[in-house]
A and B are shown apart, each in its own frame.
Chain A
Amino acid sequence: SQTIHQWPATLVQPVGSPLSLECTVEGTSNPNLYWYRQAAGRGLQLLFYSVGIGQISSEVPQNLSASRPQDRQFILSSKKLLLSDSGFYLCAWSAGLAGRDEQYFGPGTRLTVT
């Protein structure tokens, strides 16, 4: 069966510090991968998605970036965090064509920027 992991589970970082969140998927090959952010009291905002190694599509221009160095690894990064980057970050994967198929979500990372 497929499993999706995210770490860390929680993170408190000062403004201006770098960020690296990691997501890995097990039990499937060539998944579509997604990063979402959920701000308090708001819905999910798609940040990035990837249909293959090195292929990243950005939905929202901001100081975050994503990379996919391996087939089942998706990394969300920032060089300098802003207060507005606080939120709950969710990684997800889907098997079929990007977006059309159901997505399976990881447990999330709660990021607080102080």
Chain B
Amino acid sequence: AQKVTQAQTEISVVEKEDVTLDCVYETRDTTYYLFWYKQPPSGELVFLIRRNSFDEQNEISGRYSWNFQKSTSSFNFTITASQVVDSAVYFCALFMNRDDKIIFGKGTRLHILP
């Protein structure tokens, strides 16, 4: 079965702490794409990153970094020196080439406390 698991339903950390959001996926496809989206309180999802299954390089963008490990089927997202504006729901998603469909995880609600 193809699915995306975000086991952390809700996380609270104090501002300036680092936090990692976990994403574990399951697919039989050899070609697939992974995504992270941010949903702030306003409700509109914002695209953060896309990774294809052949690119296992980790990515860093400012305070955000992503760790893609095919061996463990994980695509984790780390926020360094968190800020209150990072408070949001974060979704991991998987697009499978063979099935031509995208599946979203249930999201992790992140609270950054001042």
- CB of A104, distance to nearest CB on chain B (Å): 7
CB contacts between A and B, total, < 8 Å: 47
Q: Give A98 to B100 CA distance when docked, in angstroms.
A: 8
With A42-B106, A43-B105, A99-B100 known as contacts, the answer to whether A105 contacts B46 (CB < 8 A) is yes
Count of chain A residues with a beta carbon within 8 Å of a chain B beta carbon? 21
Label chain B's interface by main secondary structure: strand
Categorize the interface residue count of chain B.
20 to 34
Contacting pair B104 A102 (CB below 8 A): no
Contacts of A46 in B (CB 8 A): 101-102, 104
Please name 10 further chain A to chain B contacts, defined as beta carbons within 8 Å, in addition to the given A43-B107, A99-B33, sorted by A numbering: A43-B106, A88-B43, A98-B100, A100-B95, A102-B47, A104-B47, A105-B45, A107-B43, A108-B44, A110-B43
- CB of B66, distance to nearest CB on chain A (Å): 14
